[in-house]
Amino acid sequence: MQLTKKVTAPCTFLLDIEVDASTVSKAFGRAYKDFAQFTRVPGFRPGRAPRKVLEPYVDRERLQTHVMEILAAKAYSDALEQEHITPYDDPQFEPGDLVEGEPWRFQVTVAGQPTVKLGDYSDLAIERPVTEVTDADVEQTIEAIRRDNAALRMATGRGVQPDDVLVVDMSIQVEGMEESKLQRSLVRLNQTIPGFAEAVAGQVPDETRTFSLTFPPDYPDESRAGKRATFTVTIGSINEYVLPEVTDEWVATQGEFTSVADWRAEVRRRLVERMNEAADEVAVGRIVAALVERATIEFPPAMLESEIRADMERLSMELDRSRTSYEQFLAMSNMSREEHYQRVEQDAERSVRTRLVLREFSRQEGLKLDEAEVEKGLADLRSRADDAGVQLMGTESDQRTRIANNLLREQVRARLMEIARITDVPVASPTAR
């Protein structure tokens, strides 16, 4: 076998392989023997007909294909071993003309494994943004909790105000369509199309108003998206949200709290914990970015293409779940197809480079999984699923892989925080900006 190798792209090789004539002849002999086992030849039992008698009954195209399979499998395997190539993906074959008794030449493009060389990371230094939790942060969080626990009650003696929930009798005349029948509907003003809340502001029960608005281009009902419509609205009732009063009795419904002071302290503690977790995430992200920047990374284009396909498939499933078309998604994102693909490609490349660097970092640091921890994690996952009455997605192997990846990710995260020199830098709370 004669072999030449040419690099055509990062970690991608074109192997030009020539198999000698003697090997080709032997492969033809083997192929005829294989075909003889199932080819019917008058006067002979399967596998007993001499080759000269068998040849006219054998499909030449199928025979040639079988010979190529015999030759390519061995030659390709030998070429990989000779050139020390471990394929990342399935190869692409380009067969040449095959003639019995003559050398056969074919080419194969193969994507090899990525290569990563980490730079020196012994002097990594980053800043960790630390946000002090203020009284204003605590009050803002408490107000959000109160809003989440608000009760709805009928409002009397006033007109419609922002954030009200209305019971209305409404008909809609969309341009180019028949007017809808008068229907009683529940309308949440903070979830209506632009202009609706302003159009009914101050309206009182039993009052009827008629106004025109344009549905947004990304409106879920495609038949109405971007179209002008006339609304006829009669108010049936006005309902408002009433926030609970923060008392010892009410906070007891939020957990095992005996007083408002205890509850406020817990709200603050959770905020501090959340701020610290966010600070750690930023710190880890900066450390990883520094590692990637210092590393020398090469990977085959096939790896990037695979990542892009996976990202697009995930997006497609998300759009299907939300009943949103790709065109609507582009409109909401204010992007063209080309701009979106460019962004996906950039994100995919960043993901691939980061994953490869962290994998090499894990290997270089000798981070290993404890199988007992994986088993415990799997048992905990099953127990939580049973308690919730839900079925786990995927096979047991998939679940084990996810748990193992999460555990390894935590090890990597902890090690990154250990090796870097981290300086805490105070930053202003969002409520203070």
Domain containing residue 161: CATH number:
3.10.50.40
User: Looking at residues 257-264, what average pLDDT do you find?
Assistant: 94
Classify residue 188: in a domain, yes or no: yes
User: Which pLDDT value is given to residue 394?
Assistant: 66
- Burial code (b: 16+ CB inside 10 Å, e: under 16) for 161-171 equals eeebbbebebe
Tell whether 179 and 109 lie within a shared domain.
no
Tell whether 109 and 6 lie within a shared domain.
yes
Classify residue 363: in a domain, yes or no: no
Among candidates 278, 297, 288, 307, which has minimal Cα distance to 409?
288
User: Which pLDDT value is given to residue 431?
Assistant: 66
Tell whether 109 and 14 lie within a shared domain.
yes
pLDDT of 433 strictly over 70: no
Classify residue 367: in a domain, yes or no: no
Tell whether 160 and 105 lie within a shared domain.
no
Tell whether 41 and 92 lie within a shared domain.
yes
pLDDT of 276 strictly over 80: yes
Confidence of residue 388 (pLDDT cuts 50, 70, 90): confident
pLDDT of 298 strictly over 60: yes
Cβ atoms 229, 213 nearer than 8 A: yes
Looking at 2-16, 130-144, 269-283, 389-403, which range is the least confident one?
389-403
Tell whether 19 and 100 lie within a shared domain.
yes
Decide which of 293, 325, 347 is a domain's last residue.
347
For residues 212 and 237, give the distance between their C-alpha atoms in angstroms, rounded to a whole number.
22
pLDDT of 172 strictly over 80: yes
Decide which of 286, 321, 347 is a domain's last residue.
347
Structural domain of residue 228, as residue ranges?
151-242
Q: Residue 72: count other Cβ atoms within 10 Å of its Cβ.
A: 20
Dump the DSSP string for 315-354: HHHHHHHTT--HHHHHHHHT--HHHHHHHHHHHHHHHHHH
Classify residue 140: in a domain, yes or no: no
- The total of structural domains in the chain comes to 3
For residues 23 and 105, give the distance between their C-alpha atoms in angstroms, rounded to a whole number.
12
Higher pLDDT, 381 or 83: 83
Classify residue 190: in a domain, yes or no: yes
Tell whether 16 and 99 lie within a shared domain.
yes
> In Å, what is the CA distance from 349 to each residue of 307, 343, 344, 363?
8, 10, 9, 21
Token pair of 413 as six digits: 């995260």
Cβ atoms 359, 118 nearer than 8 A: no
User: Looking at residues 272-279, what average pLDDT do you find?
Assistant: 94
Tell whether 23 and 96 lie within a shared domain.
yes
Classify residue 161: in a domain, yes or no: yes
pTM of the model: 0.73
Tell whether 63 and 161 lie within a shared domain.
no
Tell whether 85 and 6 lie within a shared domain.
yes
Classify residue 92: in a domain, yes or no: yes
Classify residue 135: in a domain, yes or no: no
Tell whether 217 and 312 lie within a shared domain.
no
For residues 192 and 169, give the distance between their C-alpha atoms in angstroms, rounded to a whole number.
15
Read off φ and ψ for residue 150, nearest 5 degrees.
-65, 145
Sign of the alpha-carbon dihedral angle for 368, 371, 377, 381: positive
pLDDT of 330 strictly over 60: yes
